[in-house]
Each structure stands twice: as structure tokens, then as C-alpha cells.
């Protein structure tokens, strides 16, 4: 990482004069927050381990008609449920004095300890913290696929951990699988209403009253709402009276940025989703080190996501296929 001031110097000159320039005139690019993991009900857990181990328990039918003789019936099955936590990091290096002799000089400091200059705090608190949240949301929490790094080469955020797409894909073929819903196909703007109703039909009746979130891309959620509005089936005063809940259920359609550009659909109860970190979420805790006239920033932590119980997860069949052609960025 480097601090680039080329355009600042071109526009304002290679000198600093104290004036009206201050932090209030720095306008950072908007970043995406961690919306997916912020959904109410999702469980955020802390562990001392680098892997979360649990077991799913299933009991078969036990009631039978009475007869005097003893007729044993019923099986109990314990299935292991393992959610790995992946180690990831942030490594930054920059030269704070790159801003001292130009318009940005107000972010310089008087200390000989460059790591104490305001520019360091500004970069970490105002820029890096938001970028970590955006990387997690747009690249990791759904689309991430863990890939071991190449020695000496910085990897992409998307390769730092397995997101829900990879987890759903693997769980569709596990010994204790999720529910793969056939016949839905890739979501399209034209058919989104019928596709979601068909998807909902695959979820059993005893779950209709339980709160479930149906996850789709934001553009697909918008398409559903527009289709709902256009169909005119509902006696409401305005579009504000329409609901993103599927009729006769407690299941809500939510478009999350983590799924942007996909045509996937999956659903579960919020409390079935686990977001796990080791000890505490250290994503914002950094070790700031001076290295001659550079500043090094080091941060690392363990993080993972998964499901408490695969039996509560439903996904369209195309959502469980790796790199499906139907899962394109053009859901027309």
C-alpha cells in the first residue's frame, strides 16, 4: 500500500499552507457495510478454538398403535457439524511523510514518531475499517472460497474464507444435506414472483409460521417488489403497503449486497446462521510498527460462517452448483 498524492500535488502544488483545508474536506468513497451478518437473529459466537465443533441430532418417528407385545421403534442419529474458522489478515505499509509538503499537510504531526501522526489514525479509522466491512460483505460472506495463499503473494479477500455459497454447495452433497429445491432455475426479472412462490412451496408447512429469511441479490429483491406492484393483486392504498413477506408465511425476502450479481436463492431461520470469531473480533485491532520512515500496520484474526443445522437450509438447485452458467451477472 502506498499513499498516492499525485493529483493533489498537480492541483494544489507541492507545498503546505495552513488554511481552510482540514479533515472535513476529505470525502471518502462510500463503502458497503456488513449487511448480511447484521440481519436480526443471526448468532455471533466467540470461541477459543480455530474450529467450531457441534453435532446435529435427529429422531425418527416414535408413536405407534398400542399392542401388548413390545415392538421397538425409533432411531436417534448424531451427525457431526464442523465449521472451520479461517485465519486472515491485514498488512499495510505506507510513508506518512508523503503528505507533509502538500495540501494534505494538516494530517501531519509534530512527533518524530511517524506512527503517531494523524494520517495514520485517519487511514485506519476512516478508511481501512470501512474497507474491511466491505471486503467481508462483497467478497467473503457469500462468494468467498478459501484458497491457500501463495508464499510471498498477497491473496484476494474472496480467497480468505468460505462463504455461504461454498458452504451450501458442499452441504448439498453432504451426508447430512441441506434441501436442494429443483425446478426453480436461475432467478429472472420476468419470472421472479412465480419462482419465489415455487421455492416457498418446497418449504414444509410446519415452518411457515417460523421467521425465515429468503436471501436473494438486491436487484432480485427489487424485481420481486416491482412484479408484486405490477400484478395488482393487493388492495392497498399505495406501494408502501406492499410487504416483502411471502403470503401466508412469516418468511421475508431480503436482498443482501453479498449476493449482488447472482441469481441464487436460499433460505433459513436467522438463528440457524452462525458467525464465529476466535476470542473476539480482532478485525479492527492493529499492531502499528515504525519501520525507518515507513509505518507498518499488522492485523490478523480467525473468522468463519456456517449453519447450526443443515436441515433448516433450503436453496435452489442452481445455487448449489459451482460456477453455474445460469448464475450470471445478467439476470434478464
Q: How confident is the model at residue 323 (pLDDT cuts 50, 70, 90)?
A: low
Distance CA(231)–CA(9), nearest Å, equals 56
Distance CA(70)–CA(312), nearest Å, equals 34
Q: What pLDDT, in 10s, does the model give residues 244-261?
A: 899 899 999 999 999 999
For 165, left (φ over 0), alpha (ψ -120 to 50), or beta? alpha
Share of the chain above pLDDT 70, in %: 83
Q: How confident is the model at residue 142 (pLDDT cuts 50, 70, 90)?
A: very high
- The DSSP call for residue 49 is S
Q: What average pLDDT does the segment 165-194 reach?
A: 93
Q: What average pLDDT does the segment 122-139 reach?
A: 91
Q: Virtual CA dihedral for 127, 131, 134, 139, nearest 10 degrees?
A: 160
DSSP string, 147-214: -PPPTTS---GGGSS--HHHHHHHHTTSSS--EEETT--S--TTTHHHHHHHHHHTS-GGGTTS-EEE
Question: What is the domain partition of the chain in residue ranges?
Answer: 41-59+79-89+128-320
Q: How confident is the model at residue 332 (pLDDT cuts 50, 70, 90)?
A: very low
Q: What pLDDT, in 10s, does the model give residues 202-225?
A: 999 999 999 999 999 999 999 999
Q: How confident is the model at residue 326 (pLDDT cuts 50, 70, 90)?
A: very low
Q: Virtual CA dihedral for 3, 7, 8, 13, nearest 10 degrees?
A: 120
Which helix (H) or strand (E) element contains residue 224? helix 218-231
The partner residues of 37 in beta bridges, in order of sequence, read: none
3-state secondary structure (DSSP) of residue 272: helix
Q: What is the pTM of this model?
A: 0.86
Q: Tell me which residue of 182, 134, 144 sits closest to 165, measured CA to CA.
A: 144
Q: With a cut of 70, say whether residue 283 has pLDDT above it.
A: no
118/157: higher pLDDT: 157
Amino acid at each position: 500500500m502506498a499513499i498516492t498524492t499525485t493529483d493533489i500535488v498537480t492541483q494544489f502544488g507541492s507545498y503546505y499552507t495552513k488554511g481552510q483545508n482540514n479533515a472535513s474536506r476529505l470525502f471518502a468513497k462510500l463503502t458497503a457495510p456488513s449487511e448480511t451478518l447484521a440481519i436480526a437473529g443471526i448468532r455471533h459466537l466467540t470461541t477459543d478454538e480455530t474450529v467450531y465443533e457441534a453435532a446435529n441430532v435427529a429422531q425418527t418417528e416414535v408413536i405407534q398403535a398400542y399392542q401388548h407385545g413390545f415392538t421397538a421403534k425409533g432411531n436417534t442419529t448424531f451427525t457431526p457439524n464442523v465449521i472451520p474458522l479461517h485465519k486472515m489478515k491485514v498488512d499495510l505499509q505506507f510513508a506518512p511523510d508523503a503528505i507533509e509538503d502538500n495540501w494534505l499537510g494538516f494530517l501531519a504531526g509534530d512527533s518524530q514518531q511517524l506512527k503517531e501522526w494523524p494520517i495514520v489514525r485517519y487511514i485506519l479509522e476512516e478508511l481501512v475499517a470501512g474497507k474491511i466491512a466491505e471486503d467481508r460483505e462483497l467478497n467473503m460472506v457469500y462468494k468467498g472460497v478459501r484458497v491457500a495463499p501463495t508464499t510471498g503473494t498477497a491473496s484476494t479477500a474472496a480467497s480468505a474464507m468460505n462463504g455461504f455459497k461454498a458452504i451450501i454447495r458442499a452441504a448439498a452433497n453432504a451426508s447430512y444435506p441441506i434441501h436442494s429445491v429443483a425446478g426453480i432455475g436461475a432467478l429472472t426479472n420476468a419470472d421472479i414472483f412465480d419462482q419465489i412462490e415455487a421455492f416457498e412451496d418446497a418449504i414444509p408447512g410446519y415452518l411457515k409460521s417460523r421467521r425465515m429469511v429468503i436471501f436473494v441479490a438486491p436487484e432480485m429483491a427489487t424485481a420481486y417488489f416491482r412484479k408484486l406492484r405490477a400484478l395488482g393483486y393487493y388492495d392497498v392504498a399505495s406501494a408502501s403497503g406492499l410487504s416483502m413477506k411471502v403470503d401466508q408465511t412469516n418468511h421475508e425476502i431480503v436482498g443482501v449486497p453479498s449476493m449482488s450479481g447472482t441469481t441464487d436463492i436460499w433460505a433459513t431461520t436467522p438463528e440457524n446462521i452462525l458467525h464465529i470469531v476466535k476470542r473476539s473480533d480482532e478485525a479492527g485491532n492493529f499492531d502499528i510498527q515504525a519501520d525507518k520512515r515507513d509505518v507498518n500496520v499488522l492485523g490478523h484474526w480467525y473468522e468463519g460462517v456456517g449453519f447450526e443445522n443443515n436441515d433448516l437450509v433450503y436453496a435452489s438447485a442452481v445455487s448449489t452448483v459451482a460456477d453455474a452458467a445460469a448464475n450470471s451477472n445478467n439476470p434478464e
